[in-house]
Structure 1
């Protein structure tokens, strides 16, 4: 009836409803009949009319009853006209109905339901809108968008529908006032991403209630996993909603069973290695829901740029089994692999997926590694044929397939160089050429007298490190190295400070036998790995022969890394450093503060002595051999929380390649989004080092690369890192059903699972319409259409009586 009157009002000239309005027409009588008189006239008149027609002759009884009904209709219409009926049109404002969708990072999760029926329902819901994934936020889109937004269209008929996102705060996404608004609203929802760093559910509901305090909504539908990471929870704000008469209908999205997940992180491995090297892949494994379960971690070698098909096209080269740690903890592990072929390879570390594990994207880590077989050109320089020199020279001579050795012995006879094919008569005086210093990759400077070098030779050796990226090893001795190099161009290259350094023997002191202590950096360094397995290597170190001499240098250089230290003698900065290295310009230098590593040969020949020196030489040669990467780009960590700034560092291996402007640019990419540009500025400490900070990054996987200028030959430096949501948002991911049920109950609403909410419309409260205005009454009693109806009924009755000759 209301729809009929609404159409009649529009036909009689009433203005259509504006967006968000509704027309409520009804009849009113200006001269109303009393109810008793109306009933008396209607009953008496109808009785007399029916009796009169039944008493007449002609036509059947049904025919005469039909004529009587026409005459009764004329009676009703006459009473309608006498009462002066008018059509009154009231305009009412439709009440709001609010839909709030949680777009925090936990809603990007794809749940692994234990119940097969729930798995099927989630797949069916996603299929209704042809979505490929069944993440929580994707299910929200599908639930609102199925059947082309039929739910929104139905709600819009009696409400003004507002759609909000609610991670962090409530943000209005769209308003649906008529059917044409449904499509844009769904498109806006499709463009949203579940990347919010916080879930302030209660705060968001309170914000909406405050915003609509003049016209409280009929109800609020909340699609969420129920986890509030900050501020008020939904049950905290539910009593306020109840006082305002606004029930909360909570729609649970997700699985309420504890999450199960494995994750690999913090992979550390050298970018350049050599054939036959024991390459260490150090990483960490964290888990949820798998504590104590043995997890197999595999290492695959794949062709470069093999993409998502890496495992299918690669081969497994190593594996290790690790016991999953307790929830929230990470356990370090390592995999050792010895590559046997040269080239560039992608290595993928993969934790074997487990049943009902949440996604496997974080189960793998990838690194590209260059495997080389270059002969390392080594120049060994010493003052006299001490044990360290003789054993090292003999060992390196026996490795012509990987070491190209030449030596300079300062105290040797002039004929020595003619008798020994690896001996040189003098230290090189030129930089380039077959006899130049720059042809070498590593120089091992033993206990050589600096007075044998000219000033230009010392400067040439310094340039070999800082400009050419060479490696310089200071192998200490009792007479000259390194104390005698104080004040020379080599002093800044020594990783320890010479001020206060002393030789205990020269003071007449006795040295108690000792064994070096490895620092954390030393334990992680490939130099000191004397066995493939870490536990075996530690056992080897505990059983190496003792040392009987060391150089006491109390302080390291500020930028140096200490790898080994004295177990009992302390300097001004802590234990006396015995092995340390530092980056200097394009290369690096290493200091060894003892002279009897040859003792490690006792009972084992060259097994540990030789391995140590080969690994150290390869470590020092990497910068020199890795010339196809003229610059390095790195972040200070591989994984960050979203509230942590990311520090970028760029270092040019040759100062001549660094831009003179003091700035370089990097391109920052995240997923399919357009890349951003970030400027790194010179650190001031070195003209070849640059730093920059990326503040407040959003969660995701990032890749950065160095942009020209400068113009670099070879591979463009790149780096990767990951931004994770805040700990609460990442850790509290299971559906909080109890909270959603409680909030709905306190507010007078209901709880439903998104997989079981098909009949929600039937349970929503009726819309409470708000009167706005009343149009001027439209007279019906004197309208020509009503008069035409009266005459039409009268004429029809006369014609029908005439046909049966009842007149």
Structure 2
């Protein structure tokens, strides 16, 4: 008779892990069982010593032992002991294999570095570790191998035997990804063979023009499946040029308990020069200097200099000398003045430098609309003051501006002079406000403006207008608290101080100070060189007064501050120049009325630059829409195929009242690649007179949207095939390592890829199998009880005891 039942023996025999066990009791508790046993043992000893005195000591001791042993067995049966056995058995989970399906996988990497060549040899099975040497024949064969071919050779490598080893540890589920992930059908009869996987890889297409690494990973992680994934094997070069953040997706994987095992394909420093990004403003003025910035990336190049060209329609507009060498990135700044109005397509070109990894990423493109249209500025002031005099003089001299001015308490008849900029009074209609691109509001009493005009100004800013608050000691900004203009102010005015103390000026001027944001802001940039720009600002003469301010509003940006300790508070130094967005427009606050002092040491040069940049930036908000009645625009001027195009804005009636209709009808025209098309396109009302619609760009070409409501409301943009995958030639090892670390996984190269199956096995989930052995049902205990009692009875008979 076996002590353990057969099913227990089978359970232990089939378990792959060492069992864990513990004892529990289903009858008497251990405490009560012990007390019962102790009582029986003491009673046995007492009875034998008192009533069996005639028996010899040996026989008496033997009988006591047998009786106590029987009591122990009896108490054990009453306690009903149970042995619980638990074994953690591994469970086969899915391993999600994500294969990069983008065009960058077709790259033929120049493996000039020894380690890169050895990695290719390991994948191809020519050597087994990175310490071995590569023969000349193998070097010739692998020096220009493509990433696609490398994966095929790795799959067929019998020495590594990667895929059969992985298949032993998990159920493999294959996906290929670009902008999104798609499940790949793969099945075999019996265990996976390396040759089958190699043939499977050869049948894959690498045609995706963009890679959404984070988006694809999120998609696969969110798919429902009966068994939780044990991990993700991500095979990629790390190119990520659209969609959400890969690091955030890796963090989601960690939250789900799914580690990322990432195999990086390619070389980290291919010999390449790349124009990574070209930026400029959306709208520029004829004969005004336009700045174009390009990021130039150099990888694995010899030290030297190249000439970067800014071109348009085959004409070179500007040249800059760029230093290249090693792995570096630098910004190249071009400047030129457009001579004619219209849409200009610009490109930054770096000539090919010998044998580069990619010949298609040396060009970066951007578009800009150039206008010769003047923009209207409305200057409103209560009474003459020095800042008004100098500012009006500048505004009248700027050829881009059409200036109108209102002096509320000015001399009568100012509007009667020849070519006078003055209006007879404040605008009486919404149209007079809405035809302006910029309004400069001086030290004006809100009672003279009136509630209705202030509400109109607020609506005009919300539609895209640019408003400048030019502070003064009488009204602006403290008197605007509680009015419709309060929400437009980027700051919260100090209304606790008395009017006299707020207007008090210092005997001597004190300098103003650029904030951290102000040091880099284009609004306050006097010179492209940061050090020179700071020097110029420090040379400006100080001011004797700044408007008291409680704090800056949340979301507003402070560019200039009053550094005096007595004006600082718990929110930091007092803001003097601040700005914030309001609807589609922008509001600027100038907290001093002494900007005219800045002309005293530098003349009008920097004064004109400052106000010119402010005016130009604010006017672009409305000029970009091309129509005063219908302020529509796309969120970008240039899109890539597959991008989401958003068109939005405000619409008004002929009297500039909000246009309240459910949809704004229009037409979308397309022209590109010899094709033309025209389709109706509607914008839908989102709130009040704001309209919005969006679509995914599928075809490359030029798009033009017009509304039936307003023929002047034209939105133009371009959709291009950017071939993003051709622009990134290097393996982004830093990104992939960060993703693996964030998920709790590991990053692999060819030299340690053989360790992957073991790591998958170590991460494999287990399921606990539990069974229990009820000892009180064992025949051995019953036999022991009978044996002890029988032996005791025999000894008692021999001793002639009852």
TM-score calculated relative to the size of structure 1: 0.53
Name which of 649, 652, 656 aligns with 1:652: 649
Query: What is the deviation of 1:479?
Result: 1.3
Question: 1:607 deviation in Å?
Answer: 0.8
Structure-1 separation of matches of 2:577 and 2:413: 35
- Say which SS state the counterpart of residue 423 (structure 1) adopts: coil
How far does residue 318 in structure 1 lie from its aligned partner after superposition?
2.0
1:107–1:477: structure 2 CA closer, same or farther, 3 Å change rule?
Answer: same
Matched, 1:389 2:388: yes
> How far 1:346 moved relative to its partner?
1.0
Taking the TM superposition and a 5 Å limit, the aligned residue runs for 1:422-571 are 422-432=421-431, 436-467=432-463, 469-498=464-493, 506-507=501-502, 511=506, 513-519=509-515, 521-531=517-527, 535-568=531-564, 569-571=567-569
Deviation at residue 417 of structure 1 after TM alignment: 2.6
1:239 aligned partner: none
Residues 592-612 of structure 1 show CA distances to partners (whole Å, capped at 9, x for unaligned) of 111111112114321111221
Give the drift of 1:729: 8.0
Aligned counterpart, 1:619: 617
Report the alpha carbon displacement of residue 404 of structure 1 after superposing the two structures with TM: 1.7
In the alignment, what sits opposite 1:728?
Answer: 733
1:441 deviation in Å?
Answer: 2.2
How has the CA–CA distance of structure 1 residues 594 and 111 changed in structure 2, closer, same or farther, with 3 Å as cutoff?
same
Q: Specify whether residues 631 and 571 from structure 1 end up closer, same or farther in structure 2 by C-alpha distance, changes over 3 A only.
A: farther
DSSP-derived class of the 1:528 partner: coil
SS in 2 for 1:404: strand
Q: Which residue of 1 aligns with 2:410?
A: 412
Supply the distance in 2 between the matched residues of 1:340 and 1:580 (Cα, whole angstroms). 33
Partner of 1:271: 282
Give the conservation status (yes or no) of the 8 Å contact 1:554–1:572. no
C-alpha contact (below 8 Å) 2:267/2:731 kept by paired residues: no
Q: Partners of 2:377 and 2:410 in 1: how far apart?
A: 19
Q: For 1:621, what is the secondary structure of its paired residue?
A: helix
C-alpha contact (below 8 Å) 1:586/1:654 kept by paired residues: no
What residue in structure 2 maps to residue 318 of structure 1? Answer: 318
Unpaired stretches in structure 2, ≥5 consecutive residues: 1-96, 118-143, 155-171, 191-195, 218-234, 241-245, 247-262, 653-657, 674-681, 738-746, 758-802
**Mapped pair 1:366 → 2:365:** yes
Note the C-alpha offset of 1:715.
1.4
Q: Helix, strand or coil for the counterpart of 2:714?
A: coil
Q: What corresponds to 1:15 in structure 2?
A: none
Q: Distance in 2 between matches of 1:708 and 1:492?
A: 33
* Residue 633 (structure 1) shift: 4.5
Q: Cα offset for 1:272? A: 0.7
Which residue of the partner structure matches residue 216 of structure 1?
none
What is the CA–CA distance in structure 2 between the aligned matches of 1:450 and 1:196, rounded to whole Å?
53
Query: Are 2:583 and 1:585 equivalent residues in the alignment?
Result: yes
1:286 paired to 2:291: no
Change in 2 beyond 3 A, CA 1:413/1:166: closer
Q: What displacement does 1:741 show? A: 10
Q: In structure 2, what is the Cα distance between the partners aligned to 1:269 and 1:447?
A: 35
- 1:135 Cα deviation after fit: 7.7
Contact 2:470 2:476 in 1 (8 A): yes
- Counterparts in 2 of 1:641-680, with a 5 A limit? 651-654=648-651
d(CA) in 1 for partners of 2:707, 2:202: 41
Residues in 2 aligned to 1:190 and 1:427: alpha-carbon distance in whole angstroms: 68
Kindly state the Cα deviation for residue 445 of structure 1 after the two structures are TM-superposed. 1.2
Question: Looking at CA atoms only, which structure, 1 or 2, has the larger radius of gyration?
Answer: 1
Gap change, CA 1:319 and 1:553, over 3 Å in 2: farther
Query: What corresponds to 2:15 in structure 1?
Result: none
Whole-Å separation in 2 of the counterparts to 1:253 and 1:405? 61
Matched-pair contact (CA < 8 Å) for 2:294–2:332: yes
The DSSP-based 3-state class of the residue aligned with 2:395 is helix
The residue that corresponds to 1:245 in the other structure is none
8 Å Cα contact 1:495-1:560 kept in structure 2: yes
1:403 Cα offset (Å)? 2.0
Note if 1:350 corresponds to 2:363: no
| Distance change >3 Å, CA 176–CA 317, structure 1 → 2 | farther
Question: For residues 237 and 472 of structure 2, what CA distance do their matches in structure 1 show?
Answer: 68
Does the 8 Å contact 1:174/1:188 carry over to 2?
Answer: no
Query: Helix, strand or coil: the match of 1:111?
Result: coil
CA contact (8 A) 1:683 1:691 kept: no
| Match in the other structure for 1:189 | 204
Residues 415 and 295 of structure 1, relative CA distance in 2, 3 Å threshold: same
Label 1:274 to 1:135 Cα distance change in 2 as closer, same or farther (>3 A). farther
Query: Is it true that 1:336 corresponds to 2:304 in the alignment?
Result: no
CA displacement 1:343-382 (0-9 Å, x = unmatched)? 1101223344433332144443322111112122222221
Match of 1:136 in 2: 146
Structure 1 pair 598–708 and aligned structure 2 pair: CA distance change class (3 A): closer
Report deviation, 1:490: 1.8
Q: State the alpha-carbon separation in 2 of the partners of residues 691 and 555 from structure 1.
A: 37
SS at match of 1:497: strand
Q: Give me the whole-angstrom Cα distance separating, in 2, the residues matched to 1:262 and 1:505.
A: 63
Does the aligned pair in 1 maintain the 2:271–2:357 contact within 8 Å?
yes
Over residues 145-181 of structure 1, what are the superposed CA-to-partner deviations in whole Å (9 max), with x where a residue is unaligned?
xxxxxxxxxxxxxxxxxx997879996657799xxx9
Report deviation, 1:287. Answer: 3.3
> Does the Cα contact within 8 Å between 2:646 and 2:695 map onto a contact in 1?
no
User: Whole-Å Cα distance in 1 between the matches of residues 236 and 439 of structure 2?
Assistant: 62
Give 1:294 shift: 4.1
Describe the superposition over 1:121-142 as per-residue Cα deviations: whole angstroms up to 9, x where unpaired: xxxxxxxxxxxxx882555699
Contact 2:348-2:364 at 8 Å conserved across structures:
yes
Map of 2:57 onto structure 1:
none
Query: Among 271, 291, 294, which residue is 1:260 paired with?
Result: 271
The residue matched to 2:422 in structure 1 has which SS? coil
Q: Is the 8 A contact 2:310 2:346 kept in 1?
A: yes
Deviations 1:691-732 (A, max 9, x none): 9999xxxxx999999999999941156789979899438779
C-alpha distance 614-508 of structure 1, shift in aligned 2 (>3 A): closer
Q: Deviation string for 1:458-478 (max 9, x for gaps)?
A: 3333333234x3322111111
SS at match of 2:472: coil
> 2:604 aligns to what?
606
Q: Where does structure 1 lack aligned partners over 5 or more consecutive residues?
A: 1-99, 119-133, 145-162, 201-223, 231-251, 303-312, 640-645, 672-678, 695-699, 745-807
The structural deviation recorded for 1:386 is: 0.9
Following superposition, the deviation at residue 254 of structure 1 comes to 8.6
How far has the Cα of 1:625 moved from its partner?
Answer: 1.5
Cα displacement string for residues 216-255 of structure 1 (whole angstroms, at most 9, x for unaligned residues): xxxxxxxx9999x99xxxxxxxxxxxxxxxxxxxxx9998
Kept in 2, the 8 Å contact 1:553–1:571? The answer is: no
Say if 1:425 and 1:104 are closer, same or farther in 2 by CA, change over 3 A. Answer: closer
> How many residues are matched?
530
Q: How does 1:99-248 map to 2 (within 5 A)?
A: 103=100, 107-112=105-110, 136-137=146-147, 139=149, 173=186, 188-190=203-205, 197=213
CA distance in 2, matches of 1:264, 1:567: 41
Partners of 1:517 and 1:565 within 8 A in 2: yes
Q: 1:346–1:114: structure 2 CA closer, same or farther, 3 Å change rule? A: same
Cα gap change, 1:538 to 1:705, in 2 (>3 Å): farther
Q: Deviations over 1:251-310 (max 9, x none)?
A: x9998794233344454421011123232223433333248654543322x2xxxxxxxx
Tell me the TM-score normalised to structure 2 length: 0.53
